[in-house]
Amino acid sequence: MDESPRQLIARQREAEPRYRGLESGHRACQGCGEALAARLVTEVAGGDVVVANATGCLEVFTTPWPQSAWRMPWMHSLFENAAAIASDIEAALRHQQRPTKVLAFGGDGGTFDIGFQALSGMLEREHDVLYVCYDNEAYMNTGIQRSSSTPHAAMTTTSPPGRERMGKRHLKKDLLSIIGAHHIPYAASASVAYPRDLQRKVRRALEISGPTFLLVHSPCPLGWGHGGERTIEVGRLAVQTGLFPLVEIERGAVTAVMPLRVPRPVSEYLALQGRFRHLFADEPRAREELEHLQALADHNIAVYGLLGGAPDALDADGADTVRRGGAVA
């Protein structure tokens, strides 16, 4: 008897290799950088992993009860304890002598702020966990409030520009340096705009025994005020201006960077985003803040030695060329 369409589809699915990770069908906004980042990370991680996911956008748009877009063991934790939950899972698996890799996911709210204590403890105790922070630079899930990851002068619902200040007054927390100060085996920054570089760093982290950390810059069209079709363009400019340098740190020392041959002006990055539109008003305060943000990017370029005479790694195809010890690999 001929197969029905439903039977045919079921048989074809059984014949295909099973994808393990974040599937389609979630409810993220169009152009969501965080959804893309999670997909890129889980594609590399493979099937033999367990994920502890902090409360936040990623948890909310992937698991509206009773549905789930995850095709791997996945656990929802609180904002503050994803790293602690991951530590417990890792300890249990190690006791059972199982090689399953443990990942912890959190946004900047659950990593830079609310969950930092648990994260620091996880790193200090040397649990064999890869912690991935999807950095969209504000509390997007609860209404676009500022976090300690929000850039200086950015507009959020709790840092509006006005007579007293031009957006957020404080600098973005340098979390990667703080993580590096724990002297863990490996920590790195990455961007969804450079997927090959991001996935290479995930592979590197998963190969290492001990705690590892990945900070993934993930543009948010809703919170940043840009079209969903411009997510990759915005992400690239964050890197190309020096505002979000791509670096690797091993045992507290910077071992690799993605070099910039000709850094782009910071104004090109800011002009694409509604959260910085107040900086383009014709008034002295706005010009001062633009100069301030350019100075921050210049500082990053100088501190990390991003200027390189080698072919520019930041081309259209997202090449992951990096400089190691003065040479380009």
Digit-coded pLDDT (tens) for 156-197: 999 999 988 999 999 999 999 999 999 999 999 999 999 999
- Partnered with residue 191 across adjacent β-strands are 217
DSSP, res 167 = S
pLDDT at 10 over 50: yes
Mean pLDDT of 132-160: 97
Residue 4 DSSP symbol: P
Residues with Cβ within 8 Å of 73's Cβ and at least 6 positions away in sequence, in order, are 49, 50, 51
> pLDDT at position 12, please?
58
- H-helix segments, 166-226: 175-180, 195-207, 221-224
Mind listing the domains of the chain with CATH numbers? 17-328 (3.40.50.970)
| Alpha carbon 21 to its chain's center | 17
The predicted model scores a pTM of 0.90
Q: Give residue-wise pLDDT tens across range 249-290.
A: 999 999 999 999 999 999 999 999 999 999 999 999 999 999
Return the DSSP state at 316.
Answer: T
| 134 close to 58: Cβ distance less than 8 angstroms | yes
Size of the chain, expressed as the number of residues it contains: 329
C-alpha span between 172 and 152 (Å, rounded): 6
DSSP symbol at 23: P
CA distances from 142 to 55, 158, 226, 316 (A): 11, 12, 19, 34
Nearest alpha-carbon partner for 239 in 135, 326, 139, 146: 135
Could you report the per-residue pLDDT of 78-109, keeping only the tens digit for each?
999 999 999 999 999 999 999 999 999 999 99
Q: What is the pLDDT of residue 59?
A: 96
